[in-house]
Amino acid sequence: MNIKSTFCVVLMLSLSFSGAAQKVTRSRQVPGLRNYDTDLAVMSREEKDSVRMVTELWKNYVDSYSSASVSEQERRSMWVNGMQDYLAEFDDGVLLYSSFRENKVLDVRKIAPGTYQLSVMTGSKLPGEDFYGWNECVYRVCAMAVARSEEKESRHNPFRLCNWLDAVIPTLAKTEVGKLDYYCAPGCKVPLSNAVTVARFVDALSNEYGFGFDRRIRYVVAPTVDQCEQFSGFLFNAYSNPLMSSAVPKAADFKFYGRTFGPNTLVSNYYDDLHELALLVVRTCRPEAFAMIQEGFATFHGGYMTNSYESLKKSLKLFIESHAEIDFSDEDLFYDLTMPLKGVESTVVVPLEGMLGALFVECAWENGGDSLVKELLACKDYSDVLKVFHVDPDDAETFIKKLL
């Protein structure tokens, strides 16, 4: 049985929805979909009203990002149990739903009683020929009829949104090791001995810094990058194309996928992605920490992709020596720069900001142990980081070269 069939069966067996809560409104047309009379040839009025309510819910959610009057609490109320929206982590969060992007529902289909799948396309609405007709991504979310009719709403909509990943996880094979719950897609298996080592890494990291990380981590493993991307909800993402100059660093190497979602979920095609595990722990326990130091913490302790921190550090030294024009006095002057790996045959590039963060974390660790690293994690910006080491911004380059 393939994963799609399994998904539908599990949803039908494990989810209970209140169909009676759906209010028949006799809507004349579902915006963006087929004509009402055509739809009635294949679905009942009640089903059509369900589709209308699902699309209406999605439109209200997307529109909420362009309205200053909608609070984050109201936005979360549109999701099952107020869960986080993993799609919003794409392209710096709320930009996915910004006013200069079009979110068009391509398809709504029933996949289980009370459960619908929305397929959505995001395209550019920016003026100019360069952006006209530019389709950026296609993704999917679920909508489930879980809200009770007792809720006081003038027009009750029983549907709430659900991440595709959260919907599909129950269909995957599960292995519990320490604080890790591995979920493996068909064709993928996690060796128990390796899983134990990875679980110990998480415990050691938490204990060393006194994080008190007590969440269970949902570690989803799939054999290919494409499967990982689809688990996250994306069916097509222009920015993950390694042929694009603007592709994110990990997408430059089409063999690797590793991303965190929310406070306890990781998706990767490697079962020992220590960088993402360390990043998940530090983001959850120190969410206010400066992003450079969060990434640096994860890189120092877990490397980056399949590369150790020591090998990355050698590449950083060569990169800085050959780029004397970079000004390290201000983060804005090197933000978004990437460095290639030296000495290996690879298209991999690594964010310079995260590598500098790792260098700072290493310096703090060697000179003050976990207490000085914690000082770094309390920093709010780049200037705070330099203050921890009593370094003037104008002397940042000299300081960085000494560390190398």
pLDDT digits (tens, 9 = 90+) for 20-43: 344 333 444 454 555 555 555 667
Structure tokens at 8: 């539908």
Cβ neighbours of residue 323 under 8 Å, at least 6 residues apart?
none
Structure tokens at 183: 């979920």
Q: Where are the domains of the chain?
A: 3-169, 171-403
Return the closest-CA partner of residue 201 out of 295, 281, 268, 262.
281
Question: Strand pairing partners for 323?
Answer: none
Categorize the per-residue pLDDT at 253 as very low, low, confident or very high, splitting at 50, 70 and 90: low
Within a 10 A sphere around the Cβ of 26, how many other Cβ atoms? 8
Average pLDDT over residues 234-246: 73
Higher per-residue confidence, 60 vs 95: 60
Within a 10 A sphere around the Cβ of 338, how many other Cβ atoms? 16
pLDDT tens-place string over residues 296-315: 999 999 999 888 999 999 99
CATH architecture of 171-403: Orthogonal Bundle (1.10)
Q: Beta 159-163 vs 101-112: how paired, if at all?
A: unpaired
Structure tokens at 14: 């494990």
Evaluate if residue 160 carries a pLDDT over 90. yes
Which helix (H) or strand (E) covers residue 319, if one does? helix 309-321
Return the closest-CA partner of residue 389 out of 371, 370, 369, 367.
367
pLDDT tens-place string over residues 87-99: 887 655 567 888 8
Structure tokens at 230: 């689809």
Average pLDDT over residues 268-286: 95
- What pTM was computed for the model? 0.83
How much is the pLDDT for 248?
67
Evaluate if residue 150 carries a pLDDT over 60. no
Average pLDDT over residues 184-192: 90
Rg (CA), the chain: 24
